Structure 1
Amino acid sequence: MAGGKDGFIELLESSSAELYADHLDLMDTGDLIPTPNEIHEDDVALFDEGREAGLITVLRGGRFNTLDRPTPGGHWGLLSRSRQGGWYNAEYLPQIAAYADAILHLGYPAGRVLFELPGSALQLDLAILDDAGRVVVLGEAKRGTAMLETLRINVERRYAEAAPDMTTTKDEARQLAWRLWTVAPDYTWLIGPNHRPAFRTSTSPLRLEPTADGRLPAASHLGLDRPPEAGLMPPPMLMP
């Protein structure tokens, strides 16, 4: 199989065919449904790096594992099933790219970096933990880069003074603001196709201030460059 973007699309196509073969009762075809979402070469390069380093394992049907909480059939899926074929889950490539970037280039030990956390941990897209299990970096992934700035503006404009009421309709800004007020991370990492701006984060009032160079600081700058004693940190219990 080729590398790069062509190789990634080839992987999606073969995975869609496998999904069809395994779910003939749920799919009418194994074709990959064309996606309007960006598949960026640089994200694919990080995806490939992550696979080569053993951080990402891709299984049949496009199911995949990261190092935390792997399952035999793959914890997550690059594709979803539909009658019309395999549907590309566009947020996962930027999210995987950020996971690989944090570990391979920013120096965070894999045991501190958690991917797609469970409901008890507020379903955070990405989290980097300190030794006490506190979320120092909260990652929020979107399928489109333009969505990130809109999300940040809405969070600060609507929820700067108080946490949102989560008994009403839960739009994306409300969800992120609730997570930020609940978790109170030091940094928020907004993740899109080849775009990962980082923000120093504070509450009361809620503020997201861009870092000096716009990037997430290296692990050594935050004192998080040593592997945790636990080896692999478990997802924290964050539900209030």
Structure 2
Amino acid sequence: MHPKEIENVKVRTRKHPNKLVDSKVLDLINRVVCGYAKAHAPNSITETAYIRQAAQVCYDEATRKEKPGSAWKENIKSKISKLVFLKIYARKLSNKIMREFNLNLRSVTDLSEALVKKNEYLKVCENKIRCMKIGSHSEKRIRVKSEHVVSRDEIVSFWSTIWNKNVDTVTYDNYLIFFVSDNHPTMFLLLDEFVNIINWLPNLKAAGINGIFNFFRKKLTILHEYLYDIVKAYI
């Protein structure tokens, strides 16, 4: 990609979860960025940002999957066919029920009589199920009572340690700031320390003002050394 093309990159890309990263594509982009950086070494933070933007867009285009078109028409047809099938099935089932009681489906009186008989049969089935549940629950309670018997000594030994205090000594040495005199020479970070700071950047859901996600700041490792030299020169 030409430097002028990189400067014109202003496309917003989607966020890429770390678990779904295509490492092969990212490795290839890193190699391309490495070759470009060697030929056109970035001299400012803005130039490194342009390179990151271009790499981010390339990765987004290489890994983007086209979504299939909406199948709403087929879904509606499928739902209509299911409803038609249910209608036919309900008609056949109603005819079968009326034949069981030697009744006429077209007669309102016969329909009411069939409904009453089916409700009576339903109540009988519900009573059977209720009796079975009551019997199973009573058996379970008896079994639980016989199995879960805890001795008094075991209860005392457990609760006696619940309220023990943590006697570990807590120190705050890691939080203390050492005093540095004004005439102490200023030392910039080492490269490893600088890279470590970049690697610990949070993976925020939103991109920065330049459209770059922290994810790509960390993954484009070839630019870390160039960025380190640029920042060090400012200090």
Determine which structure has the larger helix proportion and give its number: 2
Structure of greater Rg? 2
Higher strand share: 1
Scaled to the shorter chain, the TM-score interval is: under 0.3
TM-score by length of 1: 0.17
